[in-house]
Structure formats: C-alpha cells, structure tokens
C-alpha cells in the first residue's frame, strides 16, 4: 500500500514539473488570455446592446415628448416686445463666438421658442438670447389653438362674432361661450367631411365610371342602332348623376356658409388681432390652467390622432394612418407573393434538382442576388412591372382610360412584387436550410410506407421545414418593411388620395399609389415646408415604424413557435 502511494505521488510529482501542480497553481498565461478574450466578447455584445438601447431611447424621448403639451410662457424682452409661446430648447451658444465679442466668460443661453401664429408673424420659431429677457410669466388666461390651417395660434381670446354682431367679448366670457359653439362647429365639420368623402365622392366615382364606359363604347365595334341605344342609357345615367352632384354641391355650399358664420378674434402677445372662423379651430386649450391629468388626456388624444387620422398641411400635421396602412398592406402583399415563389424555388433546388455544378452555380447566384443594391430592383420593377406588364394590362383591359395609365404607373401591386423579388433570395436560402434539416431517415420512413416522392414532400418534408421557412419569411418581411429606395420609383407617394383598400368595388385597388412610413420619415424630415416644427414628428414616425415592424414580426414569430410546438412536441 505504502509503496503504491509512494509511486503514485512520485508520478504526480513528475507530471507537476511539466504542467504545474494540480492544486493551488497560479494562473498561467493562456488562462489570462482566455479571460481577456471572454471580456472582449462580452464587451462587444454589451456595446451592441448599448447601441440598440441608445437608438430606441433617442427615438422614444424625442418622439414621445412631442405630444406632451408644454406650458405657454410669456417673455417680456428688454426692448419692450412681448413674446408668447412654448420653449422648446435652451442651448449654449458657441463659446468661440462668445469670447470673440464679449470676453471670456460670456457663454450665453439661447432660447428656441415656438411662437406659432404663422399667418401673423410669418415664422413659427424664434431664437432669443436669454440676456435680452427682462421677465418671464405664465399667464393663466392664454390660449393655444390647434388649427386646420397655418399651424398653432398662441394668444388671448378677444371677441366672438356672428356676422357683424358681437356674441361675447373679454377673455373669460369668450372662453365660456366658445366651448359649446366649438363643439357644434366640429359636428358641422364632420358633416362636411362626410358629404365630401361620402356622397360627393360616390357620385364622382360613378360619373367617372360612366364616362369611361362611354369611352369604351366608342372603342367597340357595334351596329349603329345598338351603339346609340347604349349611349342613351349611359347619357341618362350621367345626367342623373350630374343632377345629384349639383344638389349635393349646393348643400355643401350651404353647409360651408353656415360653418364659417361665426368668427373668433384673437389677440397676440404684442397686441395684434386676428380673426378666424370658429370651425377652423380643431382644439382650444389653456395649457397653463391645465393639470397633469388633463394634459395626459390631451397627450393620449394626440397619439390616437397620429395613428388614426389623415395627414394635413402637406404632412406636417395630423396623423399618419395612411402611411401605416400602406406599409402593412404592402408588406402583406409582398409576403403573399414571395412565399410561394421562394418555397417552390427552394423545393426544386433541394429536392428535385440533381446536385451538381449547375445547382451550385444557381445557389451562388441566388445568394448574390441578396446583395444587389435595392435601387437596382426598383429600376427593374419600373422597367418590367410598371412599363412592360402594366402597360400591356392597360392596353388590353383598360383602353378606355388611356392615355391616363391604370396599371401602367407605379402602384402598390408593383411595389409589392418588386420587394418580393428583392427578398426572394432570403426566403430561398432559409427554406433550403429548413428542407436540408429534415433528416433523410424521416423521408425514407415515408417512402417505405409507399408514399411517392411528391406525397413525402407535401405531407412530411414541407411541414417539418415550415418553421425554417417562416424564419425566412420573418427576415424578408423585416427587410421589406424598411425598404424605401426602390419604392420611390414604383408607386410610393408623398400623399395618396385614397387607401388601396376601401368600400368601393372591387375593394382591393392594387393599382393605387400608397403612402409608406419610411418615405414619410424622409418627406416630413427633409422635404417639408416647416422642417423645424416637424423634427419631433420624424422621431415619432420612426418609432412607429419600428413598432409596426416589430408587431408584424411578433405575429410571424408566434406563428412559427406554434408550428414548432405542433410538430416538435414539448421538447422545443
């Protein structure tokens, strides 16, 4: 026993001289390097996470604060002027400039103030030096008006008039009288909208349809009697619609007249007055007299307006509902196009094609297709889908509306198909991987039961590969939702007159142009007449785009997980 233990410890000692002792050994060089590598990898991950969080925080802070109603501040300037508005930003003017003019310690604060009243003063924003301000106050009686046109108005209420008659005067009396009158005007406004979009819109649509039918009749070769008979029917319909239109139009004029009967006279901080129709005011608030709760209510209302309303004032105000709708619908159409295309191609490549040089070549080409710049796909979409396919469709099916194109111009269908081409490599690659992951032995099991190859693929291979295919779809949808460049030439517009899905037959209008969140961000941020005022809206829209994409992905991911659970048991 003692001999054995002796020899064992001797052997251990021999090893120890080469590799260090087994216990209590000081950390060596390789171990330190391993530790450093661990920290490096962890650091890289942390940096990435930090970036993502920073982006989201930036968007959230800038975007979400936009809807919060700030207090109105009145500044008395040293030169005697008075300025009323919301303080948006206080920044330190550049130090270099300060030292050059006023000595070393004169870093001055500059205030960016939204003063609204674009129709009176011409500008929404002013920059003021803090040193010029004599006094600040927050008068309780000042009013902020959100208007249909010209942006916000800040000031005090002076008078309420109907025609030449004064209904109320003085800030308090006008505020009291304004509330009920305003509600009534908003109802009238809704009625006008209904008439314009509903009644008159429908009649216009009918008139246009009849006009096209008449043009079509001219193009057809018909016996003279038949032609004149049909023409008479169309003319009668047209005359009837025209009469209906005239009636509706006169009703609209009457409504409009009544709508603008009452006017509100506002006084700005520096004493100018402005008269406006009560109906053009969307919302009147006294921010300085509001509590947090009522401000919160305004906040929620504004967020709701953003996601549910049409844009106004060349997209700088109002909501972005058409853009959200256009984005989601375009992505859905794209998915319907890309799923069969990608999956069938992958099935052929993986299951049917003889694996060899040619298939390898095709696979490389498909992978490289994913790297082609998206604008190139846009050009292809314009040349092939819009001009060639769309032009042919127009000549064959819609000759009556030529030269005005129907499908021969950008539209949501062509945009969706262009993006489907753009994303099909992603789907092919993912679907191929999913198919390759189905074990050979499972296929053999199906064949051994007498199933044909087609039955095996349909009943066993494709269901088993479905989660992998859906992963590809998720990637494709995420890519498509964020793509802007190719869409600018195949159907995306700044302002679409109608949604691609509505109540008029055939309900789904694939030829219509559409709005898109990605383009909306660019348009509002850089193409708008009032870039300063809309910058926060850009952040809010970007945040919304992320939310929309995330929601669509979550739907697809939950579908995939459902499939995984269904096919893979409780194990996964």
Partner 1 sequence: MADTQTVTATAATAAATAAERDRAVRPQIDNPILRIEDLSLWYGEKKALNEISLEIPEKQITAFIGPSGCGKSTLLRCINRLNDLIDGVRIEGDIRFEDGSIFDPRLDINALRKRIGMVFQKSNPFPKSIYENVAYGCRIQGINKKRDLDEIVEKSLKSAALWDEVKDRLDESALGMSGGQQQRLCIARAIAVEPEVILLDEPCSALDPIATARIEELMQDLKTQYTQVIVTHNMQQASRVSDLTAFLYLGKLIEYGPTEKIFINPMKKQTEDYITGRFG
Residues that bind partner 1 (CB under 8 A): 439, 441-442, 444-452, 455, 459-460, 463-464, 565-571
C-beta closer to partner 1: residue 127 or 567 = 567
C-beta closer to partner 1: residue 333 or 462 = 462
C-beta closer to partner 1: residue 6 or 459 = 459
Number of H helices, E strands in the chain: 18, 13
C-beta closer to partner 1: residue 240 or 444 = 444
CB 177 within 8 A of CB 188: no
* Cβ 61 to partner 1 shortest distance, Å: 46
Q: How many CA atoms within 13 Å lie on the side-chain side of 211?
A: 10
* Cβ 313 to partner 1 shortest distance, Å: 55
User: Which three-class secondary structure state does DSSP give residue 91?
Assistant: strand
Strands (E), 41-197: 73-77, 82-92, 109-114, 125-129, 133-137, 143-147, 153-162, 165-169
* Cβ 565 to partner 1 shortest distance, Å: 8
The first and second tokens of residue 111, run together, are 């205030």
C-beta closer to partner 1: residue 273 or 452 = 452
* Cβ 446 to partner 1 shortest distance, Å: 7
The candidate with the shortest Cα–Cα distance to 149, out of 314, 322, 319, 321, is 314
The candidate with the shortest Cα–Cα distance to 143, out of 290, 316, 276, is 290
* Cβ 359 to partner 1 shortest distance, Å: 13
Diameter over CA atoms, the chain: 127
C-beta closer to partner 1: residue 359 or 495 = 359
* Cβ 344 to partner 1 shortest distance, Å: 21
* Cβ 453 to partner 1 shortest distance, Å: 9
* Cβ 330 to partner 1 shortest distance, Å: 33
C-beta closer to partner 1: residue 463 or 536 = 463
* Cβ 571 to partner 1 shortest distance, Å: 6
C-beta closer to partner 1: residue 18 or 354 = 354
Residue in the structure block whose two tokens are 């057809």: 220
Alpha helices in 348-373, H assignment, sequence order: 357-369
Query: Measured between alpha carbons, how far is 517 from 494 in angstroms, rounded to an integer?
Result: 10
Alpha helices in 399-516, H assignment, sequence order: 412-436, 440-448, 453-456, 462-482
* Cβ 451 to partner 1 shortest distance, Å: 5
C-beta closer to partner 1: residue 460 or 556 = 460
Query: Measured between alpha carbons, how far is 351 from 345 in angstroms, rounded to an integer?
Result: 10
**In DSSP terms, which residues pair with 508 in a beta bridge?**
501
- Residue 266 vs residues 84, 147, 235: alpha-carbon distances, Å: 13, 13, 52
Query: Measured between alpha carbons, how far is 232 from 237 in angstroms, rounded to an integer?
Result: 9
The candidate with the shortest Cα–Cα distance to 490, out of 386, 345, 562, is 386
Cβ-count burial 78-92 (b if 16+ within 10 Å, e if not): eeeeebbbbbbeeee
Q: At what angle do helices 201-219 and 224-259 cross, to 10 degrees?
A: 160
C-beta closer to partner 1: residue 46 or 449 = 449
């Amino acid at each position: 026993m003692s001999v054995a233990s002796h020899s064992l410890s001797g052997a251990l000692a021999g090893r120890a001289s080469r590799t260090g002792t087994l216990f209590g050994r000081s950390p060596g060089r390789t171990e330190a390097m391993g530790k450093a590598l661990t920290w490096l990898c962890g650091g890289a991950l942390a940096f990435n996470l930090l970036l993502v969080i920073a982006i989201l925080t930036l968007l959230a802070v800038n975007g979400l604060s936009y809807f919060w109603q700030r207090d109105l501040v009145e500044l008395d300037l040293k030169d005697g002027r008075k300025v009323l508005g919301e303080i948006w930003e206080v920044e330190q003017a550049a130090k270099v400039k300060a030292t050059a003019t006023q000595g070393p310690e004169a870093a001055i604060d500059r205030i960016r103030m939204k003063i609204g009243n674009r129709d009176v003063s011409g500008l929404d924003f002013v920059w003021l030096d803090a040193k010029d301000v004599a006094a600040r106050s927050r008068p309780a009686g000042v009013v902020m008006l959100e208007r249909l046109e010209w942006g916000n108005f800040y000031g005090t209420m002076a008078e309420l008039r109907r025609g030449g008659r004064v209904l109320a005067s003085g800030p308090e009396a006008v505020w009291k009288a304004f509330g009920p009158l305003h509600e009534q005007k908003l109802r009238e406004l809704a009625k006008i909208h209904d008439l314009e979009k509903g009644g008159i819109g429908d009649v216009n649509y009918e008139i246009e349809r009849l006009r096209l039918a008449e043009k079509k009749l001219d193009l057809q070769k018909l016996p003279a009697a038949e032609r004149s008979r049909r023409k008479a029917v169309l003319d009668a319909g047209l005359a009837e619609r025209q009469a209906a239109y005239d009636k509706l139009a006169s009703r609209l004029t009457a409504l409009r007249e009544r709508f603008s009967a009452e006017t509100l006279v506002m006084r700005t901080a520096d004493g100018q007055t402005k008269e406006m129709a009560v109906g053009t005011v969307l919302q009147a608030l006294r921010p300085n007299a509001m509590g947090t709760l009522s401000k919160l209510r305004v906040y929620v209302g504004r967020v709701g307006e953003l996601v549910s309303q049409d844009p106004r004032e060349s997209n700088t105000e109002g909501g972005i509902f058409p853009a959200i709708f256009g984005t989601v619908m375009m992505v859905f159409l794209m998915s319907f196009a890309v799923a069969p295309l990608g999956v069938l191609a992958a099935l052929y490549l993986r299951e049917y094609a003889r694996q060899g040089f040619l298939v390898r070549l095709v696979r490389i080409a498909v992978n490289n297709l994913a790297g082609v710049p998206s604008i190139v796909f846009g050009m292809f979409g314009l040349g092939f889908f819009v001009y060639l396919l769309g032009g042919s469709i127009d000549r064959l099916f819609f000759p009556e509306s030529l030269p005005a194109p129907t499908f021969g111009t950008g539209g949501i269908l062509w945009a969706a198909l262009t993006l489907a081409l753009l994303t099909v490599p992603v789907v092919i690659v993912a679907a191929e991987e999913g198919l390759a992951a189905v074990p050979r032995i499972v296929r053999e099991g199906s064949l051994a039961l007498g199933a044909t190859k087609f039955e095996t693929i349909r009943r066993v291979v494709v269901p088993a590969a479905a989660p992998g295919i859906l992963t590809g779809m998720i990637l494709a949808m995420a890519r498509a939702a964020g793509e802007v460049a190719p869409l600018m030439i195949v159907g995306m517009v700044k302002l679409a007159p109608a949604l691609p899905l509505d109540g008029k037959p055939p309900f789904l209008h694939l030829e219509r142009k559409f709005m898109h969140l990605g383009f909306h961000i660019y348009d509002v941020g850089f193409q708008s007449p009032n870039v300063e005022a809309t910058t926060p809206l850009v952040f809010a829209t970007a945040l919304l785009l992320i939310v929309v994409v995330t929601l669509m992905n979550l739907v697809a991911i939950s579908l995939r997980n459902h499939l995984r659970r269904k096919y893979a048991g409780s194990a996964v």
